[in-house]
Amino acid sequence: MKAADARVLLTGATGGIGQVMAATLLQAGASVMLVGRTRERLKLLCDHLTGHLNIPADRITWQAADLLHLDDLTDLSSVATAWGANVVVHNAGVPSFGPLAAVDTGEIARVLHTNLLAPMLLTQSLLPHLHRQKRAQVICVGSTLGSIGLPGFSVYGASKFGLRGFAESLRRELADTAVRVQYLGPRTTHTSFNSQQVDDYNLATGTAHDMPATVATALLNMLESEAAQRFLGFPEKLAVRINGCAPSLLDSAFNKHRQVLSKALADALSPPTETAISRTTP
């Protein structure tokens, strides 16, 4: 689909990657519905994009929705249908990092709901409308961690493995329809999405990263090429292929990741030193 023909519902629009995605799509000629949790941030982003990019007001709109709430998903589906959305970009997500034993159970539920269940439910709700379009696309923004299991990312990885499986299954299910389902797998991206602990982990393990513009450009290319899936970065692309064919071959490649994670956990659980105590004592 040409960008000029696209009316894109973009979740996670106020995030570090989402803002750049919105600008990239608008500059390419698409119309965009910005979706996020906070009305104020959405309005500010909409005003910024309209003013700085000189985008006509009829090509950009916004809708506040908490993807954890079923009523909000239902309302969002209704608004997007009335607006005439023909592209859905599932970009919203929440992070999780750390040994499974240390992850709060509420965090596990929140990650799986936001990163996996919400895209499934929203897609299901919008499918009748999408089937009525001459051409429609559903683009799931996942992660290389949805194809390669890394120590410390068992919860986040599970959500992205699930999203990739959903996109792949639905793509094949709808192969004889006008709805195309796609999966984009970025590698680590330099935004505030990652905590300081993740940044330290990536630095210690030599993990490379991309800038948001790289991911946004890849999204635009996927929109126009209608490619089934794409992964970003090297050696991540190669690792995805190897892991898909023979996962156990890569197990030893992540020994360093496991050791860094174990050390970080040990440091976090160790009692504070006298120096540290003196710094925090009134």
* AA letter at 90: H
> How crowded is residue 109: how many other Cβ atoms within 10 Å of its Cβ?
13
CA–CA gap between residue 21 and residue 14 (Å, rounded): 10
**Sign of the torsion angle spanned by Cα atoms 20, 26, 30, 31:** positive
In this predicted structure, the answer to whether residue 19 has a pLDDT above a threshold of 60 is yes
Determine the CATH number of domain 3-280.
3.40.50.720
pLDDT at 123: 98
| Range 80-94 average pLDDT | 97
Instruction: Give DSSP secondary structure letters for 15-68.
Output: SHHHHHHHHHHHHTT-EEEEEES-HHHHHHHHHHHHHHHT--GGGEEEEE--TT
Q: How far is CA 194 from the centre of its chain?
A: 12
Q: What is the pTM of this model?
A: 0.88
pLDDT at 280: 40
* AA letter at 129: H
% of residues, the chain, pLDDT over 90: 64
In this predicted structure, the answer to whether residue 221 has a pLDDT above a threshold of 90 is yes
Contact status, residue 39 vs residue 13, Cβ threshold 8 Å: no
In this predicted structure, the answer to whether residue 264 has a pLDDT above a threshold of 70 is no
Nearest of 27, 55, 135 to residue 87 by alpha carbon: 135
In this predicted structure, the answer to whether residue 13 has a pLDDT above a threshold of 90 is yes
Q: How far is CA 14 from the centre of its chain?
A: 12
In this predicted structure, the answer to whether residue 253 has a pLDDT above a threshold of 80 is no
The residue with greater pLDDT, 280 or 95, is: 95
Q: How far is CA 258 from the centre of its chain?
A: 24
In this predicted structure, the answer to whether residue 47 has a pLDDT above a threshold of 70 is yes
**Residue-averaged pLDDT of the chain:** 89
* Edge-to-edge strand list for the sheet holding 60-64: 60-64, 31-36, 7-11, 87-90, 136-141, 179-185, 229-231
- Angle between helix axes 196-205 and 255-269 (nearest 10 degrees) is 140
In this predicted structure, the answer to whether residue 152 has a pLDDT above a threshold of 80 is yes
Summarised one tens digit per residue, pLDDT across range 271-282 is 555 544 444 433
Q: How confident is the model at residue 249 (pLDDT cuts 50, 70, 90)?
A: confident
Q: How is residue 189 written in tokens?
A: 């991206």
pLDDT at 265: 66
Q: How is residue 49 written in tokens?
A: 């994009």
